[in-house]
Amino acid sequence: MQRLRTTSVSIQYYRDTVSLGGARITNQTLGVVSRSRGQTQGILGLGPTLRGPSPYSLVLSSMAEQGLIHARVFSLDLRRAGAASGAVVYGGVDRARFSGSLERCAMVRGAEGERRLAVKLAAVGVSAGDGGPSRRWSIGSSASASASGSDKDDANVMLDSGTTSSRLHADIAMPLLEALGAGDAGPDGYYPVSCARAAASKGTVDFTFGRKTIRVPMTDFVLNMSAVDGSGGGGSNGSDECYAGVVLTESQQILGDSVLRAGYFVFDWDNEAVHVAQAADCGAEADIVAVPRSGVPLNLDGRCSENEAAVTPGPTSSLQPVATPSGAYTTVYTVSSCPAFERGCETGAVVTRTVAPVPSASAHDNAGARIGAVTRNLAAVVGACTALLLL
C-alpha cells in the first residue's frame, strides 16, 4: 500500500485485544507495519465507516458495540501549536476544554451518499486584534455578494487532523493570503509569510460554522520551519520566512490542524453531526459528560470563560507542512500480504493506480486523528472510558 508519492508501508492484519487506558476492545482487527518508508507514526482512523461492519468493525464502532461507550462519538482537543499534547475523548465531551455553547452542524455527505467528516463553512475573515481593520466575507450567500466572489461550492469543507495545511479554493484562500501579507507561492505550492510579522501579531484568522466563529491565532495559522531544519532564523535558510497554513486546491477543501487546533470538535457518527466550540483550557481536572445515542445535549456549555479561550498569541507553529498533490498522480505498490477478508487479493502483485481528485470525495474522506497528535494523558481521559460511559 502506498500513500501519496513518497510514503509506503507493508501491513499484516491481526485480531487482538486493544487497550485504551482502562478500556479493552476485544477481537479488534488492526494492521501491524513490518516495513515503512516515509511513515513514522501510527494512525488511528476515526472517520465514518462506509460499509458497516464489513470487512471488519472500526475502533469507534467496536467500542459502542461492546458497551464501552453509548454512542459513536469522539471529541478532539488538539491544543495550541506550542502545546506538548492534546486529547481525544471517546463517547463523551470534556466541558473543561471549551468555552461557550457547542454549535451543531450537519455533516455533508459525499457525491455517492457516503458519510464524511465534512460540514458547511459559513464565513471566513481576518481580525487585526490591535484595533486595526478586520475583514470578513460570507460563503455561498447569494443575498450578500462578497468581495471574494465565493459561491456555495466553496462551503463544503472536510475536517482532518491528519492534514497540516488547510486546502481551500482560490476564492476563499486568496483574500486570506492577501490579508496575511503572503508572497507568491513557491514551487511546492506554499505561500511565504514573515515570521516576525506573524509572531508580533495579536490577530486571528476566523472561520464561521453556522452561528459559531472559531478564532485561530495568527501564530497557529503560520508555519515556522526553523524547528524542523535546525536553522537559526525563522525560515528554512535562516531567513525571516514562514509559510501560511493554507494551500490552493481545485478539489475537496480540507481544514487541517492549522485550523482545528483553535476549536473543540465533537464528531457524532450516529446523528451525522459535528459540534463546534472555541477551544479553551480551564484547569487540569477533566469534566467529562457521557453522550447518549440521541446525541450531544443541546444545553451542554463549556465550563471555561472566554478569557481562557485559546486565542492569545503563542509561539509560531513549527509543524512540517505535509505535501499533498493538487492534481492527478500515479502510484505503484507491491502487495506484500493479503488479509483473509479481501477477496481476489494476490500476494506479490505489482499494482499501478492513477488517482485523480474529485470535487466531493477524496482520498482524505476517512479523516483520522493521528495518534502522535493526541497523547495528552490518555490514561486519565480514556481511562475513564468504562465509566465514561456507562452512566
- pLDDT, position 21: 78
Highest-scoring range by mean pLDDT, 84-93, 228-237, 318-327: 84-93
Residue pointed to by grid coordinates 481511562:
383
Mention every residue, 6+ apart, whose C-beta is less than 8 A from residue 254. Answer: 157, 158, 159, 160, 163, 166, 167, 362, 364
Residue 206 confidence class, pLDDT cut points 50, 70, 90: very high
Shortest CA distance to 290 belongs to which of 161, 193, 206, 387?
A: 387
- pLDDT, position 164: 85
Element containing residue 87 per DSSP (H, E): strand 87-90
Average pLDDT over the chain reads: 74
CB distance 361 to 114 below 8 Å: yes
Give Cα 167 to chain centroid, integer Å.
Answer: 12
The pLDDT tens digits for 212-222 are 999 998 888 88
Mean pLDDT of 371-391: 31
331-to-6, 105, 164, 280, 307 alpha-carbon distances in Å: 9, 36, 22, 41, 48
- pLDDT, position 363: 34
> Which sequence spans correspond to the domains of the chain?
2-327+358-390
pTM of this structure: 0.74
Cell triple for 391 = 452512566
**176 three-state secondary structure:** helix
The pLDDT tens digits for 254-285 are 999 889 999 999 999 999 999 999 999 888 78
- pLDDT, position 6: 63
Shortest CA distance to 2 belongs to which of 370, 389, 355, 378?
A: 355
CA distance 120 to 157: 6
Mean pLDDT of 71-86: 86
Mean pLDDT of 290-295: 94
The CATH homologous superfamily to which domain 2-327+358-390 belongs is Acid Proteases (2.40.70.10)
Cell triple for 37 = 518508508
CB distance 87 to 256 below 8 Å: no
**24 three-state secondary structure:** strand
Residue 167 confidence class, pLDDT cut points 50, 70, 90: very high
Mean pLDDT of 365-383: 31
- pLDDT, position 362: 35
92-94 and 288-290 beta bridge pairing? antiparallel
Mean pLDDT of 30-48: 83
Give Cα 101 to chain centroid, integer Å.
Answer: 21
280-311 in b/e form (b: 16+ CB < 10 A) is: bbbeeebebbbbeeebbeeebebbbeeebbbb
CA distance 263 to 275: 10
pLDDT at 321 over 50: no
CB distance 70 to 389 below 8 Å: yes
Residue 54 confidence class, pLDDT cut points 50, 70, 90: low
